Amino acid sequence: MATLSTQTDSLEDLDDRLCAEETGCCLLEQNSSSSSSSTVSFMPSESPFSCYSLGSPACCLNVECRIERAWAHWKKLGQPKLMVAPMVDNSELPFRMLCRKYGANAAYTPMLHSRIFFWTMRSIGLRNSPPARCSQRIAKRGNYGAFLMDKLPLVKSLVHKLASNLHVPVSCKIRIFPNLEDTITYARMLEDAGCSLLAVHGRTRDEKDGKKFRADWNAIKAVKGATRIPVLANGNIRHIDDVQRCLEETGADGVLSAESLLENPALFAGYLTAEWVEGDEESNVDGEVDQTDLLVCF
């Protein structure tokens, strides 16, 4: 996110106001009827509702219109069910193309370093996603990512600032708290601040090993029931059968997958890696995928 106001700020001023060394933003690509994909931006003339313009900042809207705006944005994206989650240094263009070829409806780019982006702004359509999920060590050193969960007033101010000044919707991606009520309060706070799309990773900040810790789908279900904006579920999507189970158990509007797609970019197409095929001879999926062949293609 390059600027949070119409003022021309120095980098020091920006850091003082954000109280963080780094923030991030990511682009969301979507599949279309053609082979190309693009970021999504809204034009006032495209608004299907009379109460607001899709190009208007959220601060110009009342609560009901902001909720309606969030769903209009979701529909404009094509209501994607299968999405590639943002990954540091992993979800680059070739990988996103590969995943889209094998069933992904939409894909996030990696988080962008805001210091670099601040000084090299371009006129491109962005959907800013405050990185409140990243639990890597660098996030702790930089005072961002999931470590902002200790500073909820700051998170609220960031989202509100973005939603109040941008002409594109703002999305957020979070981890859950150990306490369910804290998680619900967190999600509602983001919704009230202007978040239009909320992705929920069903693990806590300390549960970094996805194979060791199962994601809490019940927590995601609770967030979905407590909010009125589109919610995405992240966690435990190891093969295609998990997708429908997750959607049914959480009520989420779509799913995100990250590490599992690194192991198997064709996951959303129903393919399994050798590990899964050997472990389940009666599986009804299409068959084993050869990652080497996929790598050569891209």
CATH number at residue 126: 3.20.20.70
Structure tokens at 143: 């005072």
Most confident of 24-33, 47-56, 74-83, 146-155: 74-83
- State residue 40's pLDDT score: 35
Q: From CA 38, how far away is CA 41, in angstroms rounded?
A: 9
Q: What integer pLDDT is reported at residue 151 of this predicted model?
A: 87
Closest-CA residue to 56 (of 163, 175, 173, 160): 163
Residue 6 lies in a domain: no
| 61-84 average pLDDT score | 92
Q: Which residues pair with 106 in a beta bridge?
A: 30, 83
Q: Over 90: is that where the pLDDT of 3 sits?
A: no
Q: Is the pLDDT confidence value at 139 over 60?
A: no
With contact defined as beta carbons under 8 Å apart, do 42 and 167 qualify? yes
Q: Would 164 be classed as within a structural domain?
A: yes
pLDDT per residue over 168-207, tens digit each? Answer: 899 999 999 999 999 999 999 999 999 999 999 999 988 8
Tally of domains within the chain: 1
- What's the pTM? 0.72
Residue among 119, 44, 40, 52 at smallest CA distance from 77: 40
**Residue 276 pLDDT grade (very low, low, confident, very high; cuts 50, 70, 90):** low
Domain that holds residue 144: 11-297
Strand 106-108 relative to strand 28-30, pairing: antiparallel
Per the annotation, the verdict on 134 as an active-site residue is yes
60-64, 105-109, 126-130, range with the lowest pLDDT = 126-130
Amino acid 150 reads: D
- Mean pLDDT rounded to a whole number for the chain: 74
Backbone phi, then psi, for 85, in 5-degree steps? -75, 155
Most confident region among 52-56, 207-211, 236-240, 282-286 by mean pLDDT: 236-240
Is residue 29 a contact partner of residue 96, using CB atoms and an 8 Å limit?
yes
Give the model confidence (pLDDT) of 231-264 as tens digits: 999 999 999 999 999 999 999 999 999 989 998 9
Q: What percent of the chain has pLDDT over 90?
A: 43
Query: d(Cα 109, Cα 131) in Å, to the nearest integer?
Result: 12
For residue 277, tell me if it sits in a domain.
yes
- Exactly one of 26, 65, 134, 172 is catalytic; name it: 134
Answer yes or no: is 193 within a domain: yes
In a domain, 202, yes or no: yes
- 108 pLDDT higher than 80: yes
154 in a structural domain: yes
pLDDT at 281 over 90: no
The answer to whether position 293 is within a domain reads yes
Residue 43 lies in a domain: yes
Task: Work out the pLDDT band at 48, boundaries 50, 70, 90.
Answer: very low
What pLDDT, on a 0 to 100 scale, did the predictor assign at position 148?
83
Give per-residue pLDDT as tens, 213-227.
Answer: 999 999 999 999 999
pLDDT average, residue stretch 271-297: 57
Which pLDDT does position 200 carry in this prediction? Answer: 97
